[in-house]
Amino acid sequence: MSVSGQIDKILRKKDKKLQLIADDIAAAVKDKLKENLEKNWYSTYSPKSYFRTWDLFDSVTAEVTHDGRFNYYIQVYFDSAKISSVQNDSGWNSHMGFDGQSFKSGLVSLIEHGMKGSQYNPRNGNSAHMIEFTQEWANQYARQLLKSRL
């Protein structure tokens, strides 16, 4: 095998290793975001007058893209297309205001940064910081994983 053929083989092997690492990081970060969402938002209270859809939890999505030059991009995000906006007979609408307008696009921001409301809102002024906590964890996790596998 020629020198250039050997280099290509080494690079393909390295690229495959990077792909596996990126996939592992994406899956771990997705799981951590869901864990932080559960711990810092869903577990903070149990609704009495409506049923949870779990759409927000189920909307957490992870994607890995590759530019063909050994650069991998990992995105973990809330996919608003997976969050329903439905009017209910109970008076509480799923991810909609009382006016029937969807607020699913702003839902993540409300949860991350806190929401206003009356003193009767169990989450008045509270914020989950799930994205912030997950980002901090993800940076450390990715560095450790890359260091151990490369």
User: What amino acid is encoded at 101 in this protein?
Assistant: Q
Over 70: is that where the pLDDT of 90 sits? no
pLDDT band for 33, please (50, 70, 90 cuts): very high
* Beta strand segments in the chain, E: 60-66, 72-78
- Can you tell me which residue has the tokens 């949870």? 52
Considering only residues 140 and 116, tell me which one the structure prediction assigns the higher pLDDT: 140
Judge contact between 72 and 65, C-beta under 8 A. Answer: yes
pLDDT band for 138, please (50, 70, 90 cuts): very high
Considering only residues 124 and 136, tell me which one the structure prediction assigns the higher pLDDT: 136
CA pair distance 61, 95, nearest whole angstrom: 19
pLDDT band for 109, please (50, 70, 90 cuts): confident
